[in-house]
Protein backbone atom coordinates (compact mmCIF):
# COMPACT_ATOMS: atom_id res chain seq x y z
CA UNK A 1 0.00 0.00 0.00
CA UNK A 2 1.00 3.59 -0.62
CA UNK A 3 -0.16 6.50 1.52
CA UNK A 4 -0.08 9.80 -0.33
CA UNK A 5 0.26 12.68 2.11
CA UNK A 6 1.16 16.34 2.39
CA UNK A 7 3.54 17.74 4.97
CA UNK A 8 2.79 16.22 8.39
CA UNK A 9 3.64 19.52 10.11
CA UNK A 10 0.73 21.30 8.46
CA UNK A 11 -1.68 18.69 7.06
CA UNK A 12 -3.80 17.30 9.88
CA UNK A 13 -5.68 15.13 7.40
CA UNK A 14 -2.41 13.52 6.26
CA UNK A 15 -1.18 13.03 9.81
CA UNK A 16 -4.21 10.99 10.92
CA UNK A 17 -3.87 7.84 8.76
CA UNK A 18 -0.06 8.14 8.69
CA UNK A 19 0.10 8.08 12.50
CA UNK A 20 -2.39 5.23 12.75
CA UNK A 21 -0.47 3.11 10.25
CA UNK A 22 2.87 3.85 11.93
CA UNK A 23 1.71 3.13 15.47
CA UNK A 24 -0.09 -0.06 14.43
CA UNK A 25 2.93 -1.05 12.30
CA UNK A 26 0.94 -1.54 9.11
CA UNK A 27 3.10 -1.90 6.00
CA UNK A 28 2.98 1.08 3.65
CA UNK A 29 5.09 3.32 1.48
CA UNK A 30 4.83 7.04 2.21
CA UNK A 31 4.45 9.26 -0.84
CA UNK A 32 4.97 12.90 0.13
CA UNK A 33 3.66 15.62 -2.13
CA UNK A 34 4.47 19.02 -0.65
CA UNK A 35 1.34 21.14 -0.71
CA UNK A 36 1.04 24.71 -1.99
CA UNK A 37 4.03 24.37 -4.28
CA UNK A 38 4.06 24.76 -8.07
CA UNK A 39 2.59 21.65 -9.66
CA UNK A 40 1.40 20.02 -6.44
CA UNK A 41 -2.27 20.17 -7.41
CA UNK A 42 -1.55 18.59 -10.80
CA UNK A 43 0.52 15.83 -9.15
CA UNK A 44 -2.32 15.06 -6.76
CA UNK A 45 -4.97 15.06 -9.49
CA UNK A 46 -2.85 12.57 -11.44
CA UNK A 47 -2.96 10.23 -8.44
CA UNK A 48 -6.37 10.72 -6.85
CA UNK A 49 -9.66 12.13 -8.20
CA UNK A 50 -10.19 14.59 -5.34
CA UNK A 51 -6.79 16.19 -5.82
CA UNK A 52 -6.40 16.19 -2.03
CA UNK A 53 -4.48 14.33 0.62
CA UNK A 54 -4.48 11.84 2.15
CA UNK A 55 -5.03 9.06 -0.32
CA UNK A 56 -4.39 5.36 0.14
CA UNK A 57 -3.48 3.33 -2.92
CA UNK A 58 -3.80 -0.44 -2.69
CA UNK A 59 -3.22 -1.94 -6.11
CA UNK A 60 -5.81 -0.38 -8.41
CA UNK A 61 -7.93 0.88 -5.49
CA UNK A 62 -7.68 4.53 -4.44
CA UNK A 63 -9.27 5.70 -1.18
CA UNK A 64 -9.13 9.47 -0.71
CA UNK A 65 -10.64 10.39 2.64
CA UNK A 66 -9.03 9.91 6.06
CA UNK A 67 -12.06 8.28 7.66
CA UNK A 68 -12.62 6.03 4.64
CA UNK A 69 -8.93 5.07 4.74
CA UNK A 70 -9.22 4.10 8.41
CA UNK A 71 -12.31 1.98 7.76
CA UNK A 72 -10.58 0.30 4.82
CA UNK A 73 -7.58 -0.51 7.02
CA UNK A 74 -9.88 -1.96 9.69
CA UNK A 75 -11.40 -4.26 7.06
CA UNK A 76 -8.07 -5.28 5.54
CA UNK A 77 -6.40 -5.97 8.91
CA UNK A 78 -9.15 -7.48 11.10
CA UNK A 79 -6.62 -8.68 13.70
CA UNK A 80 -5.13 -5.20 14.15
CA UNK A 81 -6.83 -2.98 16.75
CA UNK A 82 -7.73 -0.04 14.51
CA UNK A 83 -10.84 0.39 16.69
CA UNK A 84 -11.59 -0.95 20.18
CA UNK A 85 -12.56 -4.63 20.16
CA UNK A 86 -15.81 -4.36 22.13
CA UNK A 87 -18.88 -3.01 20.37
CA UNK A 88 -19.82 -0.18 22.78
CA UNK A 89 -16.40 1.49 22.94
CA UNK A 90 -15.94 0.84 19.21
CA UNK A 91 -19.20 2.65 18.43
CA UNK A 92 -18.21 5.58 20.65
CA UNK A 93 -14.70 5.68 19.16
CA UNK A 94 -16.19 5.85 15.66
CA UNK A 95 -18.55 8.59 16.81
CA UNK A 96 -15.80 10.74 18.32
CA UNK A 97 -13.62 10.26 15.23
CA UNK A 98 -16.53 11.21 12.97
CA UNK A 99 -17.22 14.27 15.12
CA UNK A 100 -13.60 15.34 14.65
CA UNK A 101 -13.80 14.58 10.95
CA UNK A 102 -16.87 16.75 10.38
CA UNK A 103 -16.83 19.23 13.23
CA UNK A 104 -14.83 21.77 15.18
CA UNK A 105 -14.65 24.17 12.24
CA UNK A 106 -13.86 27.18 14.44
CA UNK A 107 -10.83 25.41 15.88
CA UNK A 108 -9.62 24.36 12.44
CA UNK A 109 -10.18 27.84 10.99
CA UNK A 110 -8.68 29.96 13.76
CA UNK A 111 -5.99 27.54 14.94
CA UNK A 112 -4.62 25.87 11.81
CA UNK A 113 -2.16 23.06 12.39
CA UNK A 114 1.45 24.19 12.40
CA UNK A 115 3.72 21.99 14.49
CA UNK A 116 6.67 24.33 13.94
CA UNK A 117 5.04 27.50 15.26
CA UNK A 118 4.52 28.93 18.72
CA UNK A 119 1.44 31.17 18.70
CA UNK A 120 0.27 31.48 22.31
CA UNK A 121 -3.00 33.32 22.68
CA UNK A 122 -3.84 33.47 18.98
CA UNK A 123 -7.15 32.15 17.76
CA UNK A 124 -8.80 32.03 21.18
CA UNK A 125 -12.21 33.21 19.91
CA UNK A 126 -15.42 32.36 21.79
CA UNK A 127 -16.30 29.81 19.09
CA UNK A 128 -12.87 28.17 19.36
CA UNK A 129 -13.14 28.06 23.14
CA UNK A 130 -16.52 26.33 22.76
CA UNK A 131 -14.90 23.75 20.45
CA UNK A 132 -12.09 23.25 22.97
CA UNK A 133 -14.60 22.77 25.80
CA UNK A 134 -16.44 20.12 23.75
CA UNK A 135 -13.20 18.33 22.90
CA UNK A 136 -11.92 18.26 26.48
CA UNK A 137 -15.31 17.07 27.74
CA UNK A 138 -15.31 14.36 25.07
CA UNK A 139 -11.78 13.27 26.01
CA UNK A 140 -12.61 13.17 29.73
CA UNK A 141 -15.71 11.08 29.06
CA UNK A 142 -13.83 8.58 26.86
CA UNK A 143 -11.03 8.25 29.41
CA UNK A 144 -13.44 7.84 32.34
CA UNK A 145 -15.65 5.28 30.59
CA UNK A 146 -13.18 3.33 28.48
CA UNK A 147 -9.60 4.39 29.19
CA UNK A 148 -8.81 2.34 32.28
CA UNK A 149 -6.62 -0.19 30.48
CA UNK A 150 -4.10 2.28 29.06
CA UNK A 151 -3.07 5.88 28.44
CA UNK A 152 -5.24 6.62 25.39
CA UNK A 153 -8.88 7.60 24.91
CA UNK A 154 -10.04 3.98 24.88
CA UNK A 155 -7.12 2.48 26.80
CA UNK A 156 -5.07 1.19 23.88
CA UNK A 157 -4.18 3.42 20.93
CA UNK A 158 -6.89 3.46 18.25
CA UNK A 159 -8.05 5.47 15.26
CA UNK A 160 -9.83 7.83 17.66
CA UNK A 161 -6.45 8.87 19.08
CA UNK A 162 -5.02 9.34 15.59
CA UNK A 163 -7.93 11.62 14.72
CA UNK A 164 -7.31 13.85 17.74
CA UNK A 165 -3.50 13.91 17.55
CA UNK A 166 -3.57 17.04 15.33
CA UNK A 167 -5.76 18.72 17.95
CA UNK A 168 -3.10 18.05 20.57
CA UNK A 169 -0.51 19.73 18.34
CA UNK A 170 -2.81 22.74 17.98
CA UNK A 171 -3.24 22.95 21.75
CA UNK A 172 0.56 23.06 22.06
CA UNK A 173 1.07 25.56 19.22
CA UNK A 174 -1.54 27.96 20.55
CA UNK A 175 -0.80 27.35 24.27
CA UNK A 176 -4.35 26.31 25.07
CA UNK A 177 -4.80 26.10 28.83
CA UNK A 178 -6.30 22.73 29.76
The per-residue pLDDT for range 104-151, each reduced to its tens digit, is: 999 999 999 999 999 999 999 999 999 999 999 999 999 999 999 999
Is there a contact between 62 and 20 (Cβ–Cβ < 8 Å)? no
* Cβ-based neighbour number of residue 134 at 10 Å: 14
Q: What is the Cα–Cα distance from 40 to 46, expressed in whole angstroms?
A: 10
- With DSSP H G I counted as helix, E B as strand and the rest as coil, what are the percentages for the chain, rounded to 5? 50, 10, 40
The residue among 83, 32, 78, 85 whose CA lies nearest residue 55 is 32
Residues 6+ apart with CB under 8 A from 155: 84, 146, 147, 148, 149
Judged against a pLDDT cut of 90, whether residue 36 lies above it is answered with no
Amino acid sequence: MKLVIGNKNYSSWSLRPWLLMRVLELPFEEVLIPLYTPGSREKLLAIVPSGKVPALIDGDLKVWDSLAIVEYLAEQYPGVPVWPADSEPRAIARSVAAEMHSGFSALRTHMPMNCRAELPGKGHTPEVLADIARITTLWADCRARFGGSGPFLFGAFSAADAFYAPVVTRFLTYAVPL
